[in-house]
A and B are shown apart, each in its own frame.
Chain A
Amino acid sequence: MNVTVKKIATMITLSASIAALVTGCGSANHAVPAGSDSSSTSGSGGSQAVDDSNASGNIVWAAAPITHTGLRKKLIAEFEKQYPNIHVTLQSQPADTDTDRSSLTTTISGGSSQSDVYMGDVVWPAQFGNAQLAEPLSDVLPKSFFSRFSNGLIEGATYDGKVYAVPFFVDTAFLFYRKDLLKKYNLPVPTTWEQVKSDAEAIQKAGGAKYGFVWQGGDYEGATCNFIEYLADAGGQVLNGNQAQLTSSAANQALSFMRSLITSGVSPKAEDTFQEADAENVFDQGDAVFLRNWSYAWSDSQNSADSKVVGKVGVVALPTFAGQSGSGYSCVGGWDLYINPHSKNLKADLQFIDWMTGQQAQSILAKDYSEIPTNKTVADDPSLKSVSPIFSIIPNVKYISRPTQTPNYPKVSQAIYNNINQALSGSVSVSSALNHANSQVNSALNSSAGL
């Protein structure tokens, strides 16, 4: 018995030291990359800050489906053409963002090196950086690398002074409307939320459409996005420093308006269960006049296989409340690329994210799939305007970010969407929902391990 125990103990110690050796090798790699020629432009690859001409081997890219399922494979194929020594395997992640995050946090916190590069939400950097689930990229890439991105994007990927992700593509919300219906009933394209509501009511009354306006009010992150847009339009904010500001009159105006959309019948009763796909489905079936959704809704609505409103759709920046100037605020969304800190092939990983944020990949994203690029040079390309009307609107969009600088952001967001959702369903009053949200956001911010 004792001999066996000793043997087992020796084996464990041995394997532990082997593991330590392997990890040691991994961290030794970290110092290697970071080429210098950030300005040189190779024919199709764009600016190359990373020059690992000897990078090779296999890496795994974990990514949830990006609305167009062929997109990920197309990018991989183009990358492999350029770098034949690196082979990229696609690991498809769950489409639901929260499930995707759970799957990644579970495997990476368990020390898995299964995925090398992963695609993650723009709201993750603080949480992932804090929990060491992402490689700090500012430690392994030169400063010049980050200058390729549009303004403000790198700040969103920074936590505690380090950059934990590179922006892959941006997404934001727009107002999609039925051109044909507005024309038929002789109504202008609305510029205020009040107009959206009254136009919708008029068209519904005349029998033009079953519903007026569909958006996302379900019990999930999407409700937080929708709410902070109205909140910003009303002149409010979620946080002031480290204090929640959700009992303000602006917050009350925002949530009361959302609730009134449902009580007036402009939005369906089921609005409080709607996620993106539900709202989009109602709109694409021709049952709604207005839709609030992310940029991909444009190409989806123009795809005759799933949409009955091809050629009848217009898109503008989100409206604002009456009395405010310009357009309304749009929630900043989108996806970043992160590197697994346990990855065994950092050189190839860096080569991959370098190419993915370079001009060639970003042009594919924008021109072939109408995603909003993060690479400044590609984003400023005037020829994009012919790809999708979205690209001509972007200069007018006012962005509002979610309060993602805290590692407890998931808790903060839950406090918002749980209570917003309760108010939308009519179970609690607007003011008591906001009071609850306010105190829950405060306790999420001030406790390191709350419930």
Chain B
Amino acid sequence: MSVLSAGQTQGSKRRHNLKMADRKAGFGLLAPAGIVILAVTIFPIVYSIIMSFNNISLTTNGFAFQSNGINNYKTVFGSPVFWHSAWFTVYYAVVTVFVELFFGLLIALAINNVKKLQGLSISIMLIPWALITVISAQMWDYIYNGVYGVLNAVAESLHLIGQPVTWLGQNTSAVIAMMVADIWKTTPFVVIILLSGLQMIAQDYYEAARIDGANSWQLFWKVTFPLLRGSIALAGLFRILQAFGVFDLPFVLTQGGPGTATESLAILGYRTLFEDLHFGVGAAVAVSTVILILLACLIFLAGFRSMVEEEAA
């Protein structure tokens, strides 16, 4: 972090010395990339926002827009279906991200400290992350299946359950089952980020702390954790972004069921847009979801900012 800020100050000094001609050339060189970003990012976002303020009907000539102000948002925020999905998405994201950070940290520490066969353990650990979600979700579907599922077979043979349980057919167990599948799949991602963070911590700190008589518990809380906060924030941020948009897992595992128990905002948006063909309302769901994600990221970062700044100093 300190290296980065040093670089930044040098950069800003240099910028002052640039001549106008150079600056023009610079913008010229940036333009192609800027146009691409404009075309693939800014345009669709603006288009979605415009859609969300219109009543849209399909015609053979494409979309017909008819402005209807904030009516779509009124429909969205006035609907218990939306608030149910929003609430589900929020607690799903909070629980999975927290558990993933916790296990991710434990595993990263273990891999970092056990030097033997490190390459092999990292490769094995990464397998769940490398699998395509729809495939791993289908695999979990076989595990959770209420009739021929592996989980029931194992639990029954261990006498943990008397008769088969329909894991995906009950509200609470379906939500938990989905969280487990998500945690299994994305913890490796957290591990990789934290592991690289751990390996960047200079050994000198540990030596100095040991000379001062610190035990391993103190080493972790006084050296490792403070220096790892930046990586934790990064992993957490990436995970929040993804967890709020969770789609493939419920799409394959539960189709949002039972009832609407696992209907995430992304599934709701998909249904509204592509099944009901209510494009305006669907766009309003999408825009609201984006705002919710931004808010979540801001809250998460605000919680971490002080620590990160502390570390950078």
- Using a CB–CB distance below 8 Å, which chain A residues touch chain B? 23, 98, 101-102, 105-106, 109-111, 127, 131-133, 218-220, 268-273, 278, 281-282, 341-342, 408, 410-411, 414, 418-419, 421-422, 424-428, 447-451
Contacts and interface: CB of A to CB of B under 8 A. Distances in A.
A111 B63 CA distance: 10
A127 B275 CA distance: 10
Contacts of B58: 109, 131-133
B5 interface: no
B166 A273 contact: yes
Contacts of B79: 450-451
17 contacts: A111-B62, A131-B57, A132-B58, A220-B257, A270-B164, A271-B169, A341-B60, A414-B271, A418-B257, A418-B260, A422-B258, A425-B169, A425-B171, A425-B259, A450-B79, A451-B75, A451-B79
Given A268-B146, A272-B258, 16 more contacts: A102-B270, A106-B274, A109-B62, A111-B62, A127-B277, A131-B57, A218-B257, A219-B256, A220-B257, A269-B164, A270-B146, A270-B169, A414-B275, A422-B258, A427-B171, A451-B272
A287 to B, nearest CB: 8
A349 B258 CA distance: 41
B111 interface: no
B169 A98 contact: no
A449 B72 contact: yes
Nearest to A447: B75
Interface of B: 55, 57-63, 72, 75-76, 79, 81-82, 145-147, 163-166, 168-171, 254-261, 268, 270-272, 274-278, 280-281, 285
A278 B144 CA distance: 13
A101 B147 contact: no
B110 to A, nearest CB: 37
A373 to B, nearest CB: 30
Given A422-B258, A425-B258, A449 B280 contact: yes
Contacts of A422: 258-259
Nearest to B72: A449
Contacts of A111: 62
Given A219-B254, A421-B259, A427-B259, A131 B277 contact: yes
B69 to A, nearest CB: 13
Nearest to A341: B60
A280 B255 CA distance: 20
A450 B277 contact: no
Contacts of B171: 425, 427
Given A268-B164, A269-B166, A451-B278, A278 B256 contact: no
B249 to A, nearest CB: 15
Contact of B277 (A105, A220, A419, A451): A105
Contact of A411 (B75, B259, B268, B276): B276
Contacts of A127: 277
Main secondary structure, interface of A, reads helix
Most buried by B among A23, A110, A270: A270
B275 A98 contact: yes
B166 A272 contact: yes
Contact of B258 (A98, A106, A219, A451): A219
Contacts of A101: 274-275
B258 A427 contact: yes
Nearest to B259: A422
A282 B164 CA distance: 14
A132 B274 contact: no
Given A132-B58, A219-B255, A419-B259, A268 B278 contact: no
A447 B259 CA distance: 21
Contacts of B257: 218-220, 273, 418, 421
Contacts of A425: 166, 169-171, 258-259
A12 to B, nearest CB: 13
Contacts of B278: 449-451
Q: 5 closest pairs, A vs B, by CB?
A: A270-B146, A219-B257, A422-B259, A131-B58, A102-B274
A266 to B, nearest CB: 14
Contacts of A131: 57-58, 277
Nearest to B141: A273
A98 B260 CA distance: 16
A375 to B, nearest CB: 29
B277 to A, nearest CB: 5
Contact of A410 (B59, B260, B276): B276
Nearest to A96: B255
B267 to A, nearest CB: 11
A268 B268 CA distance: 29
Contacts of A105: 274, 277
B264 to A, nearest CB: 14
